[in-house]
A and B are shown apart, each in its own frame.
Chain A
Amino acid sequence: QQQVKQSPQSLIVQKGGIPIINCAYENTAFDYFPWYQQFPGKGPALLIAIRPDVSEKKEGRFTISFNKSAKQFSLHIMDSQPGDSATYFCAASGAARQLTFGSGTQLTVLP
């Protein structure tokens, strides 16, 4: 099964809050898990990515947590800002290199 399930569909937080977006996968052959950020009318841009040999990766205010046994990974945004308001997509790929995307989470950070 190639599906990647993403939740929630939408999320509203106050400035400074820590939104968390979750993804789950079924294919144990997946070995690369990127997160993309997309602003309205623009193409997605790579935000951060993780491989299953580590449980956590931080880049600035963005953190990926990875649970290999549960086949789940999540994105945390520390000290969220209104400029972080965007749609976030998780994805996964394996040896075939084709990315399978989640359905997206529309994040709104209120000032």
Chain B
Amino acid sequence: DGGITQSPKYLFRKEGQNVTLSCEQNLNHDAMYWYRQDPGQGLRLIYYSQIVNDFQKGDIAEGYSVSREKKESFPLTVTSAQKNPTAFYLCASSIVKVGLAGFRDTQYFGPGTRLTVL
């Protein structure tokens, strides 16, 4: 899991509630990512950020929000607008070095947070 921590490990949410998942990295990586993983499916990108105070929507951003106020932190909020939030959520980070072949795109993942809606 490298230097990426996610908390909590398990999270239970009632319908209609917003919840925030924490992701912190001490790898001094520029880029951070949030993925959602459902059984039998690959990882789907929710949001990503390549620099502080800037982030971009991924493939399934609806019902989620993020912030990137510090380089080390990239919290994800699952809002009540997300209709099917029960899933395993993974945070990742990577170096962004233009032209440095071999290091580009190597993403390091945290241990994940399993969110269950009751």
Q: Which residues does chain A contribute within 8 Å of B4, judged by CB atoms?
A: 43
**B90 to chain A: closest CB distance in Å?**
5
Chain B residue nearest to A94 (CB atoms) is B105
How many chain A residues have a CB neighbour from B under 8 Å? Answer: 23
Tell me whether A89 and B42 are in contact in the complex, defined as CB-CB below 8 angstroms, given that A51-B101, A97-B31, A97-B96 are known contacts: yes
Stretch of B11-19, B60-68, B78-86, B107-115 lying at the A interface = B107-115
| Closest A residue to B35 using CB positions | A101
Q: Does the CB pair A103–B106 fall under 8 Å?
A: no
Contact flag A9-B111 (CB < 8 Å), given A32-B104, A43-B90, A44-B90: no
CB–CB A93/B40 < 8 A: no
Flag whether A19 is at the interface (Cβ < 8 A). Answer: no
User: A32 to B105, Cβ gap below 8 A?
Assistant: yes
- Which of A6, A42, A43 is within 8 Å of B42, CB to CB? A6
B44: chain A residues at CB < 8 Å are 101
- State whether A97 and B112 are in contact (beta carbons under 8 Å apart), knowing that A44-B90, A104-B42 are contacts in the complex: no
In the complex formed, the residue of A with least CB distance to B50 is: A97
| Distance between Cα atoms of A106 and B45 in the complex (Å) | 21
A10 nearest CB neighbor, chain B only:
B40
CB pair A46–B107 under 8 Å, yes or no, is yes
Q: Give the interface of B toward A (CB within 8 A).
A: 1, 4, 6, 31, 40-45, 48, 50, 58, 90, 92, 94, 96, 101-102, 104-112, 114
